[in-house]
Chains A and B, each alone.
Chain A
Amino acid sequence: MDKIQQRFCSACLLIFLYISLTLSNPAQAKDNINIVVVLSKNTHPYQQFHKQLEATLISDEQRSIKIFVIHSDIIESISELSDSGINPDFIIAAGTRAAQELIKLETSTPIIFSLLPGSSYQNNIQNSRYCRIKNRCSAVYLEQPIDRQFLIIKKGLPDIRSLGIILGPSSAIMRNSILRAEKKYGIDVRIELAEKGNNPIILADSLSKTSEALLAIPDPDIYNRRTAKGILISTYKYQIPLIGYSHGFVHAGALFSIYSTPEQIASQTGMMLMQAILSSQKELPLPEYPHAYTVEINPAVMRSLRSRINFDKSISDN
């Protein structure tokens, strides 16, 4: 889907939302909706997230949306806003640090936890005291569903018959989803479960020897700045591609990565919020995996491995 189509779709959606709002509340006075966006850091990816979120949340004749951004002293800043008469109708948390701070709040404001991994939400947020109240919390995860990764691999690299996957402490939970995808897509999966004391580079070396590609599943104990180099070198040694999960990975030397950009996550978060605003109870929907994603290819690796990817170039599916 190219950028023009993407913009066209966004415009259609906004027109639809506008018409919906107009038709549903023809005689109502304009609502003021206060949104507090809490960024875990004030660095480039979070700024991109914020910028795209602002672009998605547009005021109309029925509603005036005001966005307040916080990126430090989170609890205190929210208290200060309340003290000055600004009570947030919704909070959007961008990132893990913001999420961990916000669940300490004593308010009942609905929060969308975005730009964070599903495991982080499910392990630390979902069952927190704050989120136990029904429909108070929701999330937009950062990682891609396993099914999508297999679908793209199957489509992009149809000759791949075996896929090596290393699972560590954080990612071991993915095992059943992976085994289901293995059956569904007919790709032979070889899983190495990393235990304490295992060196991920050695596991990658052993898997690279017997697999036709290595799929990286996010796990900080397996893939980090210290190990990524050695793991990539192992895959080059056996001339097999590594499929990554971030722009950083593809830049470093993965054949391609499937990931969602902060902008794509922000757009979806904005849509989720608008959906909640439109709903009569202002209820949040269930957590979602990203709808939009990017498949970014490293052309140098593609040439080197002579991989034939059934995409002409990097793609975005919005």
Chain B
Amino acid sequence: MHKQASCLYALTGLIAVLTGTPQLQATELSEDDFLQDLPVVLSATRLVQDKRDAPVATTVIDREMIDASGFTEIADLLRYVPGFVVNYDSGHVQAASYHMLNNNLARRMQVLVDGRSVYIPSLLGVQWISLGISIEDIERIEVIRGPNAASYGSNSLLGVISIITRHASQDKGVMAKINAGENNLAEGFLRLGGGSENLDVKVTAAYRQDAGFVERYDSYQVRKLNARADYQADLNDRLTFYATFNDAKVQEDNVFSRDIPNHPANILSRTFQMDWTRSLSANEDLKFQYYRQCYGKQNRYQHAGTPLFIDQGRHSERDDFEFQHTLSPLDNLNMVWGAGLRTDQVFSEYYLGRTPARTNRSYRLFGSLAWNITASTLLNAGVMLEKYQITTGTELSPMLSLNHYLTNTDTIRVSASTAIRSPGLIEEYTDVRVGGNTIAYDAGKLAPERILAYEVGYLGRFPHYRASLDLKLYHEYIRNLISLAAADAAGNLPYHFANQDNAETQGLEATFSFKPNHKLRLEFSYAHAHIQASDVRNTTQYTNSSPNDSFSLQIIQRFIQGYQGSLNVFYHSEMKQLATEDMRSANTRINLRIGKTFKLAGNKTDVSFTVQNLLNEFETTRLKNVARRRIYLSLKLEFR
């Protein structure tokens, strides 16, 4: 493993040597500069849909917000999105979810990195420390707040988080950054970028170590390496390659069971992705995408007080191919359609009761259109058709929205959308036995979870004040929620997965953005939610799984001489943590960051001082995740 990492780190240096940085020279202007063709950059698939035209509410966390946030973990950035709650299951397992069902693995959301789903089949969710990218690699995060299976497929149940990394042409030269602070925080990044006329390449190596929570055995070290190459084959053909390597060494404990001792675990993940985009015209693209994801976790320990060794290791592989055709056949009509094929394989003797893999092959066909029926009315309609090998039937997820522009600056939106979450292989084929006892068994076919969401939205822009307001009223119905069912009412073994719960959420969300000038920026979001739930066990476990009220506030101020300050405030009212059913008290968290940008020997240099959790407010649940105030320093150097 280490040898593999060393080779990849060496590759970083090699690419840096092979590539260069565009430097300025004096060249004579000629008519060629006026007459030459340039590669199509803004292809139809790269178009960002304006918020006014989006079928459901969206939030964008851009690079400036990320830099000013004071966060070092990607999942924490989702605190800026109204309706999101970010919690920690342990020092290295973040729980981020939208509206409710605050599960520790983002099981009911689609999380994409550069269009590639990072859902791990053997985990039934997303592991944020294993994304293979660092916070420094991110250009922006687009969050679609609501189901949108018609565009993003299965798992887009509660929302879609789309992480977009920086284009290789944006990161030329060398960037080195270190963060060091309390609680054994040490982070290092090294990015090298260069290229030629048609090729842009960048490679980032990163390391992070963190002591986790003081009262937990949950420290971790992560080594990451990722590369991105953008190759313009000709004026209309673009190839993009991505590769990530992520090696995490974590400490694991179990605060609820003395049978599980503190023990180390290793997590290794790798991905490769290739996108080919052919621009047929400024309004028409063909895109082919293939990616492969491999994930493995070694997790072996001795059952306390017994000679029994438990191996909870798991390994999974995912291969995905998608074709997409984006076109604009009429001035007032944009369309996209496509098809995809995916194969998931999960290996885990512990969870599946056998060594050979369980496989789930799925097929999807999708299409959507945005049609300006009149100059002031836009219709968005879409549908996703999915077929899974392990479930019966074909799943259809339609979406419909109508956006009406009241004026040039005011838009109202009504929408209805649906999505499903297909059961995972471990839910469908679970078979856990320890020491001859059955812990969990396969109780038969599971149905997909399904959501139906209604939304009424208002988007107002106030150009005179450089401000905008986004409001959303929603009502969501979720059926067939899958959860573990016990053998009897007392919760005795064995367990099995079953479709046993329904839930309903309604609420209001608001975001307000104010940028009076390029020195001051204010972003505020607020969410109010009310959950009604029913389940066969009458535990109403989902009822409080989202706080009734939450908000975030970010103020960024640039001062003279390159100084910059930012204040970040996050609040949520009391809520239940779904994983443990513990009640979490209301919490306010404040991050404060002060930074300065200056030139050092002609190179851009940033230094910053950050205080996380300024008020030192922390929770005292059974998980003992006591996150005290932390101060860290950061130094970033860019050699272009």
Contact = CB atoms under 8 A, between A and B. Distances in A.
B282 A298 contact: yes
Given A96-B30, A117-B33, A298-B42, A201 B170 contact: yes
A108 interface: no
Interface string A22-49: 0000000000000000001000010000
A243 to B, nearest CB: 14
Contacts of B39: 225, 228-229, 252
Given A230-B169, A237-B139, A300 B34 contact: no
B34 A246 contact: yes
Interface stretch (A76-84, A127-135, A148-156, A301-309): A301-309
B34 A117 contact: yes
A264 to B, nearest CB: 12
A221 interface: yes
26 contacts: A95-B30, A96-B30, A142-B31, A143-B34, A170-B26, A170-B27, A170-B28, A197-B602, A201-B22, A219-B29, A220-B29, A225-B197, A226-B197, A229-B232, A230-B200, A233-B167, A233-B169, A233-B170, A237-B140, A298-B42, A299-B328, A300-B282, A300-B283, A301-B42, A301-B282, A304-B50
A9 interface: no
Of the candidates A194, A236, A300, A301, the one having the most CB atoms from chain B within 10 angstroms of its own CB is A300
Of the candidates B31, B42, B53, B602, the one having the most CB atoms from chain A within 10 angstroms of its own CB is B31
A221 B26 contact: yes
Given A119-B29, A200-B24, A229-B169, A248 B35 contact: yes
A169 interface: yes
B25 interface: yes
Contacts of A115: 31
Contacts of A97: 30
Interface residues of A, number: 67
A199 B42 contact: no
Given A196-B25, A199-B640, A237-B140, A306 B41 contact: no
B22 A227 contact: yes
A223 interface: yes
B47 A234 contact: no
Contacts of B391: none
A248 B36 contact: yes
8 nearest CB pairs, A to B? A253-B42, A230-B169, A252-B38, A169-B26, A304-B47, A253-B41, A220-B27, A232-B41
A275 interface: no
B340 interface: no
B459 to A, nearest CB: 11
B159 to A, nearest CB: 22
A226 B139 CA distance: 21
B40 interface: yes
Contact of B33 (A229, A246, A306): A246
A159 interface: yes
Contact of B31 (A40, A223, A239): A40
Given A124-B28, A197-B640, A199-B173, 18 more contacts: A96-B28, A96-B30, A170-B29, A195-B24, A210-B518, A218-B29, A218-B34, A224-B33, A226-B22, A230-B172, A234-B170, A239-B48, A245-B34, A248-B35, A248-B37, A252-B40, A301-B47, A303-B328
A205 B170 contact: yes
Given A233-B167, A306-B50, A253 B36 contact: no
B334 interface: yes
Interface of B: 21-31, 33-42, 44, 46-50, 52-53, 62-64, 139-140, 167, 169-170, 172-173, 195-198, 200, 230, 232, 282-283, 328, 331, 334, 408, 463, 518, 602, 640
Given A170-B28, A262-B35, A298-B282, A233 B22 contact: no
A194 B27 contact: no
A116 B28 CA distance: 11
A24 B296 CA distance: 92
A198 interface: yes
Of the candidates B36, B140, B197, the one having the most CB atoms from chain A within 10 angstroms of its own CB is B36
A205 B196 CA distance: 20
A143 B32 CA distance: 12
Nearest to B285: A300
A236 B40 CA distance: 13
B27 A221 contact: yes
A216 to B, nearest CB: 10
Contacts of B602: 197
A226 B196 contact: yes
Of the candidates A95, A229, A262, A304, the one having the most CB atoms from chain B within 10 angstroms of its own CB is A229
A237 B48 CA distance: 9
Contacts of B27: 169-170, 220-221
A192 B170 CA distance: 18
A90 interface: no
A229 B41 contact: yes
Of the candidates A116, A227, A233, the one having the most CB atoms from chain B within 10 angstroms of its own CB is A233
Contacts of A171: 29
A219 B29 CA distance: 6
B28 A220 contact: yes
A175 interface: no
B29 A246 contact: no
A168 B24 contact: yes
Of the candidates A143, A218, A230, the one having the most CB atoms from chain B within 10 angstroms of its own CB is A230
Interface string A288-306: 0000000000111101111
Contacts of B283: 299-300
Given A210-B518, A220-B28, A300-B42, A142 B47 contact: no
A317 to B, nearest CB: 17
A120 interface: yes
Contacts of A220: 27-30, 33
A209 interface: yes
Contacts of B47: 300-301, 303-304
A234 to B, nearest CB: 7
A252 B42 contact: yes
Contacts of B41: 228-229, 232-233, 252-253
Interface in A255-291: 259, 262
A259 B46 CA distance: 26
Interface in A176-207: 194-202, 205
Given A228-B41, A299-B283, A120 B29 contact: yes
B324 to A, nearest CB: 16
Contacts of A218: 29, 33-34
A32 B23 CA distance: 53
